Amino acid sequence: MLLIMIYALGASDRLSRASSNHHFAYLAESFLSGQLHLKRSPPHGNDWASYEILRLAPSAQSAIEQTLSRPIDDLKGVFLPKEGQKRWPRRFQTLRGEQVVIKRGEMISKTRRHYVSFPPMPAILMLPLVAIFGLATSDVWFTIFFGALNGLIAFTLFKRVIQWRESRPLIIAQSETSDHLQVLSDHQVSGEALWLTLSLCLGTAHLWCAVRGEVWFTALILGVTFQLLFFRWAWQLRRPLLAGLAYACAFSTRASLITLGLFAYLQLFSTGGKYKFDERLRRLGVFTIPPLIIGLSLLYYNHVRFERWYEFGHSYLAGGQLKRIAEYGLFHPIFLQKNLIAAFALLPSLSLSPLLFTYSWHGMALQFSSPHLLMSLFPNLSAKGPKIKSRESMRLGLGVVSLSTLGLLLFYQNTGWVQYSWRFALDFIPAVTLFIATTAQAKGKLYKSLTLWGVFINMGGAIIFGRSSVWWVGVNLPQLLPH
């Protein structure tokens, strides 16, 4: 309830209406109408996928069909950028990647079909609301609800992990001194879990994203929801079927969360786990069923829309005219430099005369906006007692998930623009926070102090981001590579 109040205060004037970027409501409307493309034209041109459908003269169609791999009724795809000032003839690339040349007078008609390229799970969850309220459905309240829900899930998850951390196998307990046999009280466990929850929900980009609504931020917040549910059920493979479902929902919300599954599969090789090898193998088989079914469904969803199994639609943003995607694809080493700068190098500036807080629209460094996450780099800072193999294997799984997700994001074609801090970090912050929970560092004053700093900085984002922004001139990031 407290989180809902905080998020509602941060949203304030946005609460009375849907955001201007409620793509998921448009997608839900399309689903309710029994189609995959938009039922109506989008309200603006920002982050919609689209391609053109050409109706050609019979003679032109016959000639072009001879150059294609299969017959066509209409030609679907995008015109490639114009060569010089010449308008005709123009090169046209079909959805299957084949190029043809369209000459003047060969085209009878041209229509554009729009899609939402973002994975569809948020739109599926929004279906009942859109069925009742239509496009007036508030994605702001929708996002706030899941943001507050994340706090509840996180608190119970952190309590469970702390209790797991403090438990001692009998053979270890018998050999430990009395200092290492201290058991945390319920009050202490709840207190530590509360600080971890505070650091996640208020001390990171989660805070300013939760108050925005809008397609990008809604997806990130729901991505955190499914990450937390996944870790809750995948921890020691407690509920493999539910964990598999949460995993499938996670990558159906944010494609970058495909790496989450590593945490579950690495437990097959853990030592000193809760189950024997054959039982772990069986549970992982059960875990695999939902992501396999939903994953294949998503591939088919892609194929029906774009005639390619692996195409979610990002290649067709801005009508397929984004040069960086056309030249390098969605992931490429050339994007590494700008992403490293956005994630770890950009800092805001403060001037006193006039009083001005200035930050880049590419965000600000993660270690500045959420410095408590740095504690994950020093896991032994608060460690006491002997190392227990089962604890170390779980930490390894969390570390592998965090680093693999980070690596994926650093090669992505977009920094997260426009943002207050590096928002893509929400794809691995739950795993990092869980890692910290296994080390007992959240009990210390340093972690609490760094968390309060993160709350202070991100509270500023909840207040000013999207309401008043100025450009950061210290690093002109677009010159390194257009965003």
Q: What is the pLDDT of residues 281-310, one digit of tens each?
A: 999 999 999 999 999 999 999 999 999 998
Q: Which two tokens stand for residue 34?
A: 């029994």
Count CA within 13 A, CB hemisphere, residue 104.
Answer: 3
Domain-embedded: residue 290: yes
User: Dmax over Cα atoms in the chain, in whole Å?
Assistant: 90
Residues 6+ positions from 156 with CB-CB distance below 8 Å = 193, 232
CA–CA separation, 319 and 48 (whole Å)? 8
Contact by Cβ (8 Å): 208, 461: yes
Q: Which two tokens stand for residue 105?
A: 């007078």
Q: In what order do the strands lie in the sheet with 75-79?
A: 99-102, 90-94, 75-79, 49-56, 107-115
Most confident of 154-168, 322-336, 394-408: 394-408
- In this prediction, residue 470 carries a pLDDT of 56
Residues in the chain: 483
The count of domains in the chain is 2
* Cα distance from N-terminal residue to C-terminal residue, the chain: 38
CATH code, 56? 2.30.30
Domain-embedded: residue 215: yes
Residue 354 has pLDDT above 90, yes or no: no
Domain-embedded: residue 191: yes
Q: Are residues 328 and 412 in the same domain?
A: yes
Bridge partners, residue 49, by sequence: 115, 317
Percent of the chain scoring above 90 in pLDDT: 66
Last residue of a domain, one of 115, 134, 160: 115
Residue 173 has pLDDT above 50, yes or no: no
pLDDT confidence bin for 274, thresholds 50/70/90: confident
| pLDDT mean across residues, the chain | 89
CA–CA separation, 183 and 92 (whole Å)? 69
353, with CB counted inside 10 A (0-12, 13-18, 19+), is exposed
Q: Are residues 300 and 435 in the same domain?
A: yes
Residue 384 has pLDDT above 90, yes or no: no
Q: What is the mean pLDDT of residues 432-439?
A: 96
Q: Are residues 354 and 402 in the same domain?
A: yes
Pick from 119, 235, 216: nearest CA to 426:
216
- In this prediction, residue 388 carries a pLDDT of 62
- The one-letter amino acid code at 343 reads A
pLDDT confidence bin for 187, thresholds 50/70/90: confident
- In this prediction, residue 359 carries a pLDDT of 85
Residue 120 has pLDDT above 60, yes or no: yes
Residue showing tokens 């396999």: 292
Pairing assessment for the beta strands 107-115 and 349-352 based on DSSP bridges: unpaired
Q: Pick left, alpha or beta for residue 108 (phi over 0 → left; psi -120 to 50 → alpha; otherwise beta).
A: alpha
Domain-embedded: residue 330: yes
Residue 84 has pLDDT above 60, yes or no: no
Q: Are residues 320 and 259 in the same domain?
A: yes
Contact by Cβ (8 Å): 325, 281: no
**Which of residues 27 and 390 earns the better pLDDT score?**
27
CA–CA separation, 196 and 448 (whole Å)? 9
Q: What is the pLDDT of residues 358-380, one digit of tens each?
A: 888 889 999 999 999 999 998 77
